[in-house]
């Protein structure tokens, strides 16, 4: 069953009005990969009447008013991606395509969608006092004072800019359900975990962040604000925070408590259609559906904590997993589809091989404040063991009708190397059964000083993994290859660093990189903090940051240039031939 999107669908259910209307910057795909669908169906399960308005036309009232006003609240999300990231490249060029829009043309999602949709609601429902609740990744990552790359300045919380009433951050099932129940009962909601709101007064007992004005006036205070914010994102250890912005205060309650495996099973066990709603399907094909239709999410969260990634702030540093039974049940649902051709396209999460691996200490006491799980080395307390994922993959492979199970989600190769018990077995299984020609990994860079700024382990780990990968390939008589995702123009990186990366890729990896992206400063990451402040937040030292668009592109061009790769290859071949010739001469002279 789809969530309703039209009055006709409401009439068929005998609904005169809705309790909650969710507005999204993505089209409506009824899938567990679509946050709007997950939240909507979760609320529906608990008895709330929920409707969806996807990608409303912002130039007229027709879309936003077609379901009438909700009784409890509007839920507004920009979609699965921050709208500015969805609409613009790292060099600020407008993107022409959008995989989450019918027809694939990027003409439905407005810039700063959360703000625009909130204004749209308030324009056409002026006399309706139903609150607007922001959610999704755009709201989650812009909830405090943050640097905005596209305007090149600090901005207030999106709550202030959107003039919304409440913000649900992180994974919102718990907070949104508690909020809906409180509103239905007419009870106070201000103490619900996982939400933020605007207050005329600071919250007693909460930590104070430097104000918006202080952050603008002093970059060191902005660093302090971000660090306090970041260290209070773990559910088991976090305190509430507040931050003055104009004459009022942004107040954030501690995060929602972690999900249990049973709760995860319940969420992903809901009845999803795994299709685009017919109302939107008539507008054209949706490319994203083909990627997610036969994919399975095994877990949430990531303890990798790369400095350029916001998963730790949004999904959290604690990995929470579904049970094998729940995952296999979903696989059987996929198998029953007439469109299934025998291939499960992905089994994973933010990082595929974190399934079933978590620190027992963290689960009991929360994430460590003074160290990371995987940097500069994998913490020995983590005790990586891939046996649970190996077991899961074997069970999925044995299902009748499955030809192959792929892993397309990102992998941490350093985690594989840290697993002395099962790492080799997992990698061998991966190469033999779950890769089609190539395995994609993301070293991001090969200069140790840049890797350090990224929060990633040193390049010797990459070399070790590469050698192990090809050694296993050879032992299996297979010809699988590694491809590498790399980043240009990360804070601290200059042209010389890119030249060194190019040489390393040619000499050590024997490749000419193609999967290269220019660093995009997105809200609520340490790398973005470095970009704006031009300081290393860990040392306070000044940091080189390339901010010229043309020079950023040049850094990328250095890496993808095929000419320098050919020269390096010719030099390598010449050197090898010369060595062989010298050896032959030595043999003849004996």
Annotated binding site for [4Fe-4S] cluster: 302, 306, 309
Question: Token pair of 65, please?
Answer: 């008013």
Residue 196: phi, psi to the nearest 5? -135, 160
**Angle made by CA atoms 209, 212, 218, in degrees to the nearest 5:** 85
List the alpha helices (DSSP H) in 412-536: 413-418, 423-433, 448-454, 459-476, 495-507, 526-533
- Residue list, annotated binding site: 302, 306, 309
The string over 5-31, giving b where at least 16 C-beta atoms fall within 10 Å of a residue's C-beta and e elsewhere, is bbeebbeeeeeeebbbbbbbbbbbbbb
Distance CA 20, CA 212 (A): 32
Going by C-alpha positions, the residue among 340, 367, 236, 354 that lies closest to residue 300 is 354
Query: In Å, what is the CA distance from 35 to each residue of 7, 26, 28, 526?
Result: 23, 10, 10, 25
Q: Contact 299/355 with Cβ under 8 angstroms?
A: yes
Question: Token pair of 310, please?
Answer: 């916001």
3-class state of residue 417 by DSSP: helix
CB atoms within 10 A of CB 79: 26
In sequence order, what are the residues at sequence separation of 6 or more whose Cβ sits closer than 8 angstroms to the Cβ of residue 19? Answer: 43, 48, 49, 50, 70, 71, 72, 180, 184
Using only C-alpha atoms, the chain has a radius of gyration, in whole angstroms, of 25
Question: In the chain, what's the furthest Cα-to-Cα distance?
Answer: 100
Q: Contact 407/347 with Cβ under 8 angstroms?
A: yes
* Summary count for the chain: helices (H), strands (E): 24, 22
């Amino acid at each position: 069953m789809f969530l309703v999107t039209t009055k006709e669908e409401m009439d068929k259910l005998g609904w005169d009005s809705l309790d909650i209307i969710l507005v999204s910057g993505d089209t409506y795909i009824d899938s567990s990969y679509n946050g709007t669908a997950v939240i909507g169906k979760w609320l529906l399960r608990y008895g709330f009447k929920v409707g969806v308005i996807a990608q409303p036309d912002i130039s007229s009232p027709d879309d936003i008013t077609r379901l009438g006003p909700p009784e409890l609240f509007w839920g507004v999300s920009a979609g699965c991606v921050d709208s500015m990231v969805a609409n613009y490249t790292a060099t600020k060029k407008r993107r022409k395509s959008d995989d989450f829009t019918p027809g694939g043309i990027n003409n439905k999602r407005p810039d700063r969608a959360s703000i625009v949709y909130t204004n749209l609601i308030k324009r056409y429902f002026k006399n309706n006092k139903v609150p607007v609740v922001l959610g999704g990744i755009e709201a989650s990552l812009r909830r405090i004072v943050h640097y905005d790359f596209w305007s090149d300045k600090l901005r207030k919380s999106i709550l202030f800019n959107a003039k919304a009433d409440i913000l649900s951050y992180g994974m919102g099932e718990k907070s949104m359900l508690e909020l809906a129940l409180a509103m239905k009962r007419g009870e106070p909601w201000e103490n619900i975990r996982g939400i933020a709101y605007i207050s005329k007064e600071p919250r007693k007992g909460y930590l104070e962040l430097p104000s918006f004005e202080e952050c603008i006036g002093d970059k060191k205070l902005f660093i302090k604000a971000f660090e306090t914010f970041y260290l209070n994102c773990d559910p088991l250890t976090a305190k509430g925070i507040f931050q003055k912005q104009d004459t009022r205060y942004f107040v954030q309650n501690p995060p929602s408590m972690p999900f249990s495996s049973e709760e995860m099973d319940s969420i992903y066990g809901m009845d999803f259609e795994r299709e685009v709603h017919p109302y939107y399907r008539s507008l054209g094909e949706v490319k994203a559906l083909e990627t997610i239709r036969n994919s399975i999410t095994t877990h949430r969260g990531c303890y990798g904590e790369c400095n350029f990634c916001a998963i730790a702030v949004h999904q959290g540093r604690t990995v929470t997993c579904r049970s094998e039974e729940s995952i296999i049940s979903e696989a059987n649902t996929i198998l029953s589809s007439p469109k299934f051709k025998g291939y499960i396209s992905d089994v994973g999460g933010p990082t595929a091989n974190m399934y079933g691996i978590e620190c027992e200490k963290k689960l009991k006491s929360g994430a460590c404040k003074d160290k990371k799980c995987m940097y500069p080395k994998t913490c020995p307390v983590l005790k990586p063991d891939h046996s649970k994922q190996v077991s899961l993959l074997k069970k999925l492979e044995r299902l009748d009708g499955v030809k192959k199970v792929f892993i397309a989600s990102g992998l941490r190769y350093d985690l594989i190397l840290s697993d002395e018990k099962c790492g080799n077995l997992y990698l061998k299984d991966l190469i033999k059964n779950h890769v089609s020609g190539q395995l994609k990994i993301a070293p991001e860079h090969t200069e140790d000083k840049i890797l350090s700024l990224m929060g990633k382990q040193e390049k010797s780990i990459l070399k070790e993994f590469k050698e192990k990968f090809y050694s296993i390939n050879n032992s299996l008589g297979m010809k699988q290859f590694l491809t590498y995702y790399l980043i240009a123009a990360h804070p601290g990186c200059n042209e010389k660093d890119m030249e060194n990366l190019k040489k390393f890729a040619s000499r050590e990896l024997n490749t000419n990189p193609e999967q290269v992206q220019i660093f995009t400063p997105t809200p609520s990451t340490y790398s973005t903090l470095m970009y704006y402040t031009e300081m290393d937040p860990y040392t306070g030292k000044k940091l080189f940051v390339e901010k010229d668009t043309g020079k950023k592109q040049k850094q990328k061009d250095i890496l993808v240039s095929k000419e320098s790769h050919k020269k390096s290859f010719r030099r390598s071949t010449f050197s090898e031939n010369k060595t062989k010739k010298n050896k032959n001469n030595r043999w003849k002279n004996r």
